[in-house]
Structure 1
Amino acid sequence: MSRLLVIGCGGVASVAIRKCCQNSGIFSEIMIASRRKEKCDALKAKLQGTTGTRIDTAQVDGNCAKEVISLIRAYKPDAVLNVALPYQDLTIMDACLATGTDYIDTANYEPEDTNDPHWRRMYEKRCRELGFTALFDYSWQWDYRERFEKAGITALLGSGFDPGVTGVFSAYALKHYFDEIHTIDILDCNGGDHGYPFATNFNPEINLREVSSPGSYWEDGRWIETKPVELKSRYDFPQVGVKDMYLLHHEEIESLAKNIPGVKRIRFFMTFGQSYLTHMKCLENVGLLSTSPVLYEGREIVPIQFLKALLPDPAALGPRTVGKTNIGCIFTGIKYGKEKSIYIYNVCDHQACYREVESQAVSYTTGVPAMIGAMMVVTGQWKKPGVFNVEEFDPDPYMEALNRWGLPWLVCENPAPVKVWRADEE
Structure 2
Amino acid sequence: MSERVVQPVRVLMVGAGGVGDAAARIAVERDFFEAWVVADYDLQRAERTVTAARERRAGEERFTAAQVDASDAAAVTALARQVRATHVLNAVDPRFVMPVFSGALDAGADYLDMAMSLSERHSEAPYEKVGVKLGDLQFALAGEWEAAGRLALLGIGVEPGLSDVFARYAADELFDHIDELGTRDGANLVIRDDDGNEVFAPGFSMWTIIEECLNPPVVWERQRGDGDLEAGFFTLPPFSEPEVFDFPEGIGPVECVHVEHEEVLLMPRWIEADRVTFKYGLGEEMIAILRTLHTLGLDSTEPVSVKGVEVSPRDVVAACLPDPATIGPRMEGKTCAGLWVTGAGKDGRPRSTYLYHVVDNADSMRDYGTQCVVWQTALNPVVALELLARGTWSGTGVLGPEALPPKPFLDLLAAPRPEGYGSPWGIEDRPPHDPGKDRA
What TM-score do the two structures reach when normalised by structure 2? 0.88
CA–CA distance in structure 1, aligned partners of residues 327 and 431 of structure 2 = 32
The equivalent of 1:19 in structure 2 is 26
**Which residue matches 2:4?**
none
Q: Hey, what does 2:235 align to over in structure 1?
A: 225
Contact 1:156–1:373 (CA under 8 A) maintained in structure 2: no
Write the mapping of 1:75-94 to structure 2, written as runs, cut at 5 A.
Answer: 75-94=83-102
> For residues 132 and 405 of structure 1, do their structure 2 counterparts lie closer, same or farther at Cα, with a shift above 3 Å needed?
farther
Distance (Å, rounded) in 1 between the aligned partners of 2:431 and 2:378: 28
Aligned to 1:213: 215
1:178 matched to 2:179? The reply is: no
Q: Which residue of 1 aligns with 2:53?
A: 47
Deviation, structure 1 residue 110: 1.6
Task: Give a deviation string over 1:355-394, Cα, whole Å, max 9, x none.
Answer: 1222221101110002112222233222222110000011
Identity among equivalent positions (%) equals 29
* Higher mean C-alpha deviation, range 54-63 or range 209-218: 209-218
The match for 1:115 is: none
Q: Tell me, yes or no, if the aligned pair for 1:108 and 1:136 is still in contact at 8 Å.
A: no
How many correspondences in the alignment? 409
Q: Which runs of 5+ in 2 are unaligned?
A: 1-7, 193-197, 226-231, 415-419
Q: Is the 8 A contact 2:351 2:432 kept in 1?
A: no
Match of 1:303 among 313, 318, 325: 313
Cα displacement string for residues 70-116 of structure 1 (whole angstroms, at most 9, x for unaligned residues) = 111110022111111222221122222212111111110127xxxxx
Equivalences for 1:181-196 in 2 at 5 Å? 181-195=178-192, 196=198
SS in 2 for 1:229: coil
Aligned-partner Cα distance in 1 for 2:162–2:110: 20
- 2:144 equivalent in structure 1: 147
Superposed, which structure 2 residues align to 1:381-400 within 5 Å? Answer: 381-400=392-411
Measure how far apart 1:336 and its partner are. Answer: 3.2
Q: Using the alignment, how far apart are the partners of 2:72 and 2:431 within structure 1?
A: 47
Whether the 8 Å CA contact 1:288–1:304 is kept in 2: the answer is yes
User: Distance in 2 between the 1:201 and 1:50 partners?
Assistant: 24
Whichever residue aligns with residue 5 of structure 1, its letter is: L
Distance of 1:258 and 1:179 partners within structure 2? 18
Q: In the aligned structure 1, how far is the partner of 2:279 from the partner of 2:158?
A: 14
Question: In structure 1, which of residues 6, 10, 18 is the aligned counterpart of residue 13 of structure 2?
Answer: 6
Query: Which one-letter code corresponds to 1:50 in the other structure?
Result: R
State the Cα distance separating 1:305 from its structure 2 match.
0.3
Of residues 68-77 and 272-281 in structure 1, the stretch that sits farther from structure 2 once superposed is 272-281
Matches within 5 A, 1:100-179: 100-110=108-118, 132-133=129-130, 136-179=133-176
Counterpart position of 1:116: none
On the 8 A contact 1:234/1:244 being kept in 2, the answer is yes
What one-letter code is carried by the residue in structure 2 that aligns with 1:321? Answer: M
Contact kept, 8 Å, 2:24 with 2:50, in 1: the verdict is: no
How far did residue 311 of structure 1 move?
A: 1.0
TM-score normalized by the length of structure 1: 0.90
Residues 1:30 and 2:36 aligned together: yes
289, 292, 311: which one pairs with 1:279? 289
CA shift in 2, pair 1:93/1:191, >3 Å: same
Q: CA deviation at 1:126?
A: 12
Amino acid at match of 2:364: C
Contact 1:21 1:53 in 2 (8 A): no
1:251 and 2:262 aligned? yes
What one-letter code is carried by the residue in structure 2 that aligns with 1:420?
D
Residues 388-426 of structure 1: CA deviation (Å, up to 9, x unaligned): 00000111111112213243111112357466369xxxx
2:427 to 398, 411, 419: 411
> Cα–Cα, structure 1 residues 353 and 49, in superposed 2: closer, same or farther, change >3 Å?
closer
For residues 45-64 of structure 1, the C-alpha deviation after alignment (integer angstroms, 9 at most, x for no partner) is 22324324511110000111
Cα distance in 1 between the residues matched to 2:38 and 2:352 = 43
Which runs of 5 or more residues in structure 1 are unaligned?
A: 112-119
